[in-house]
Structures are given as C-alpha cells and as structure tokens.
Amino acid sequence: MVGELSTAVRRLTRRQVAAATAAATALLVVAALSGWTLLRRDDGNTVEAYIARSSLAEQRELRIGVFGDEPLLSYRDPAKPDSDRLEDYSGFDIEMARRLGAYLGFRPASVKLAPTQVQNRARDLNEGLVDIVIANYSMTPERELEVDFSGPYLRTMPEVLMRAKDAPPSITFQALGGMAGRICTTGSSTSEAALNRKGIRQVDGVGQAQECVRGLLNGKYDAFVLDEVVLAGFRKSHPQLALVDLVFDQAEYYGIAVANGNAELKTLVDNFLLDSYERGDNGAWHQAWSGTLGQVVRRQQVQPRPVVSVKLRDYNDRRR
C-alpha cells in the first residue's frame, strides 16, 4: 500500500513538473515575443517616430511653397489672389501637396499653400517661411548645395511655346538664336541656363511664367522656353498658342525640396514617394497625374523611382 502511494506521488510529481516546465516555457516565449513587439514599436524607424523628431512635431499646419500661375500644374483661382487654402488651387503639384499632407497626418484645412517664385524657393525654405517646396524644382548639383531634395517625382523635357501661326513642328537652338531679344523664360531656371550655355543671352528671365505667356499673346515675345509640363497647361488654356519640340536631349527631373539639413523631413517625403511608386496606378502620383497633366502632356509618363536612403518600417501603412 505504501509502495503504491509512493509510486502515485512520484507519477503526480512528474506530471506536475512537466506541466510547470511547459507553462514556464510558454511564459518565456510570450515574454520574448512581447519584448520583441515592444522593441519593434520603439525602434524609432516609423513614420510617427520621424514626425515626432522632425520640424513638424509641434506644428498644427503644414506650409508648402508652390507656384500659383501654371494651369494644370500649380494654379490659384484668380478670384482668390490671397488664398492659402488647398481648395482654391488646382494642378498636379497641388494634388501631390494634398496627398503628402495627408501622409504626414495633416487634414486638408491644415495644409497651407504659399506662393513662391523660382529665385525664392531655396530662401523660403532655409529662412523657415515654408516647410516644403513643390514647385517644378529641377534637381541639379548646384541646387543640392542649397536645399535637400526628395525624388525625383517627375521627368520632363524643355520645349518651346509659340504663336500657332508662327510655329514650326520643331526648333533648334540655332533658330532660337535668331530670335534673340524676343525670347522669354523664368529667371534662374534651368531653361535660362541652357539658353545661356548655347550662347543665347538676350533672354528675358521673368519672375512668373504668366509674364511670358502674356508677352507671346501681345507680340512682345516670339518664343517661351521652359519645361513641357509647364507649357502644356498654358497651351491648353490658350488655343492660339502651339507647343514646339526643342531639339535638345536634356531631361529635367523634379524634386520635392526641404530645408538644407532637415534629414527627418526629407526621409518622410522620401517614404511618401516610395509608397506612391510601389502602389502604381493606386498611388498618389498616378491619381494626381491622371486628373491633371495626364490629360494634355504628349509624352507618356510614369512616376520615376525615387531615391530612398532610409526606408521606414511602416512607410506603406499610412492611410490617405
């Protein structure tokens, strides 16, 4: 009897030990997994963590520098010349601004648009007047010394806008040279630099593209040289003007700019563009393009693959 009881106790003890061991193992696994989950949540490699460390952390509004005079690209309602509201602007760059704001956690009413000019874009960023610039900003080595670019987000080519009755199918720099003194472009633009490199220096470099269009319409200018995506919108608005192919093998790549050294905000914009690129037809870029410039630009366009140095863990989990 005593022997049977002793055996039962030993058996019970073994069962209890096995159960306790299994329970302890399960607890260790749960603890390890919980610890890993917490570690992942606190690793700082998330969109929210970067926002918290960025210049946007304490801001209630996102300020974006844009142009306001370029139809289908970045255009402000002429009836509301002082507005900074998204709803009073239209165009591809504006739609990109809207979607970037949402990605960064800002409601449309909290995204404020500030008109800028070509020569003021870097200054506006580095003096803190705006947080971001989306204003057909070509990425060049010289400009990368002044601002930090995310992108590219758009590829385009220089072309020429002329009065339709005077427009040939294509034009060379040599032919443009014969129009010296009657050529317009925006000052400090890559188009102005290209004209100068070709020896064409009698060019009016104006503050806003609309000035060149008005000059074409009233006969002051014979040619307006700038990027196709800018000129296509003006051609749509003014049927008496024609877009002419410029014989020039130089592509322009646009970037979204932040102030020099603003690494956290640049990383956030990088990841917004990456998310858009990977979503394809459902991405921010395609949705913005198809409803604006995609209706008029002759060359087929897709979003260029952006250069991303730091890929955030949840970059593609944001709701827009």
Q: Identify whether residues 96 and 233 lie together within a single domain.
A: no
Task: Check pLDDT > 90 for residue 297.
Answer: yes
What tens digit of pLDDT does each residue of 88-116 get? 999 999 999 999 999 999 999 999 999 99
Read off the CATH number of the domain in which 190 is found.
3.40.190.10
Q: Identify whether residues 260 and 148 lie together within a single domain.
A: yes
- Confirm whether 87 is domain-assigned: yes
Whether 278 contacts 305, CB under 8 Å: no
Query: What average pLDDT does this structure show over 167-179?
Result: 96
Task: Check pLDDT > 90 for residue 32.
Answer: no
Q: Identify whether residues 1 and 144 lie together within a single domain.
A: no
- Confirm whether 164 is domain-assigned: yes
Contacts of 184 (CB under 8 A, 6+ apart): 203, 204, 206, 211, 212, 215, 216, 220, 221, 223, 224, 225
Quick one: pLDDT band at residue 1, thresholds 50, 70, 90? very low
Query: What average pLDDT does this structure show over 268-274?
Result: 98
- Confirm whether 54 is domain-assigned: no
Q: Identify whether residues 149 and 259 lie together within a single domain.
A: yes
- Confirm whether 229 is domain-assigned: yes
pLDDT score at 318: 75
Query: E-strand spans in 13-131?
Result: 62-66, 69-70, 74-76, 89-90, 111-115
Question: Which residue type sits at 251?
Answer: A
Which domain covers residue 13, as residue numbers? 1-42
Overall domain count for the chain: 3
Whether 225 contacts 191, CB under 8 Å: yes
Q: Identify whether residues 125 and 264 lie together within a single domain.
A: yes
Neighbours of 283 (CB within 10 A): 20
- Confirm whether 100 is domain-assigned: yes
Q: Identify whether residues 185 and 225 lie together within a single domain.
A: yes
Query: What average pLDDT does this structure show over 140-166?
Result: 97
Query: What average pLDDT does this structure show over 25-34?
Result: 41
Which of 246, 264, 287 delimits the end of a domain?
Answer: 246
